[in-house]
Copies of this chain bind each other. A is one copy, B any other.
């Protein structure tokens, strides 16, 4: 797919008409970002007309606040209703959100938090390469956006994998929200992109001929490419352009008054003949843009592995094994890791299918954003690092994927005190809390290697974002009275169903993850009295099984290798109150402050989440009855 010649007269009318509707929408909403919308509309118009309308290639507008420009282009191309956009932009109930919304036709990724969109776009470019589609991916960035660190993580990855199908367009208007770029944060864009290994091109971002030429040059580049589009904020507006020329930030994020805008409305209006010329042209186009995502549906999950009672292994190895199986069966399954492949066990897949494993370097933010992009381009990415990095360093990107309803499998290892000796900076004790409040991400913590195997295969085939929490240390597989593995044989993982490991009528013990083994050992001495339920997800804590148990016992002990004041306890407690479940004794066992370094065993004992500590709590509660 090449850039095609365009009728520059049409492009001029197109850009002008887009400026009009963008401004009408902003003025109508009395809110929005007209300045950058106007500075980017020339190079956007040329890009769409010369290429995107024919190629159906992906574009991510990473500086999502220029949504008026994006929506205006898509409306001009009749992918969306122009009147709807103008009237309802930024109004309650409209999909024409303040920042670019993936659920508008022609938008490939919802953006807003700066830097994350371009990282997602690079994930898409990687997918196009991987699937050998021969397609390019385009990203638009603000110049100020290049101050976000994730942009550099992105750039280094583009260079490492030489993603020459990736073209960034920087709207280099030299003005950001507060002030000029120079006063706010002067950075040398050319030097920075060159240092990352990009081909750096420069262009007058308002000269359509020059823009098309530079696109054709960029098209031939054998490296990832950035075009610094020299633009003027508010270009083409009688009200805004002068301030833009003087690097004033006046119109970055503010609407002109309806009165002031009137002059522009007149100036930007096409004559009737121009209107029909443009309309005729657009009507004749065979526009191929389609941003609908078809997530892979036919995933072969293979056969569950079975770990027996004599196996002593960590859940992360069970994850690595399952991932290898899945990867071998499904080319869509890809693994990403941030310099921890041996620790998070994606190296097992890496060994078997090196082309399905991507090392992003120490760049967790980029990893999670790129996974979002990969997932919207047909891959099923498993992104892995330690829990603390996934849910703190990369939380912004996980949240943006959450909003984008992507299909990312975040599998974290070394969570909780199971981490061992690395100390508090590496102890994910707050990762449930970080992730459980995201509306579209399911949080899971499997209890042993067998359940891990089930969970990994389940999330591979199930559309959506998942956060899977795994510990680091090894322990035996969970078995029933007959020494058979509990999470094997006829076991089927379901995120809403807990597993009752022991029946009892006085106290319900609820746990998940690596405290399950400790809890089981503790509960054994209280058969018939203590009911032990393992809830692999926070959601399954609200299941009928748990409620029925609680109605019977009226006493609840929660155990988790996590901040005791968050996670399972806080997820369940409001629900119990809301449903008037009477609880006579309630105790949440977990970790109450940062712990120093130490062996997992010592740390569990210190925090009373080992067999002995749990037994003590059970005694305390039973003693009260």
Contacts and interface: CB of A to CB of B under 8 A. Distances in A.
Interface of A: 29, 31-32, 64, 90-99, 101, 110-115, 144-145, 147-153, 156-157, 159-160, 176-179, 183-188, 191-192, 194-197, 337, 339-343, 359-363, 365-366, 388-389, 391-393, 395-396, 399-400, 403, 420-426, 429-430, 432-434, 436-440, 556, 563, 565-566, 569-571, 573-574, 576-578, 580, 582-588, 592-594, 596-599, 602-603, 606
A128 to B, nearest CB: 21
Contact of A573 (B91, B421, B570): B570
Given A64-B425, A187-B361, A573-B576, 12 more contacts: A90-B597, A91-B602, A92-B602, A112-B423, A144-B361, A178-B339, A191-B195, A192-B196, A388-B396, A570-B573, A576-B577, A582-B582
Most chain B CB inside 10 Å of its own CB: which residue of A91, A97, A179, A597: A597
Contacts of A31: 420-421
Given A90-B597, A176-B362, A389-B113, A425 B400 contact: yes
Given A149-B363, A393-B113, A437-B565, A339 B185 contact: yes
A133 to B, nearest CB: 25
A404 B231 CA distance: 44
A578 to B, nearest CB: 5
25 contacts: A29-B421, A93-B606, A99-B423, A99-B425, A111-B425, A113-B425, A115-B362, A147-B153, A184-B359, A185-B339, A195-B195, A388-B399, A395-B396, A395-B434, A399-B430, A433-B434, A439-B563, A569-B574, A573-B573, A573-B574, A576-B577, A577-B586, A578-B587, A580-B585, A580-B586
A586 to B, nearest CB: 4
B113 A596 contact: no
Contact of A192 (B176, B195, B388): B195
Contacts of A388: 113, 396, 399
Contacts of A159: 186-187
B577 A583 contact: yes
Nearest to A64: B425
A541 to B, nearest CB: 12
Contacts of A421: 29, 31-32, 90, 98
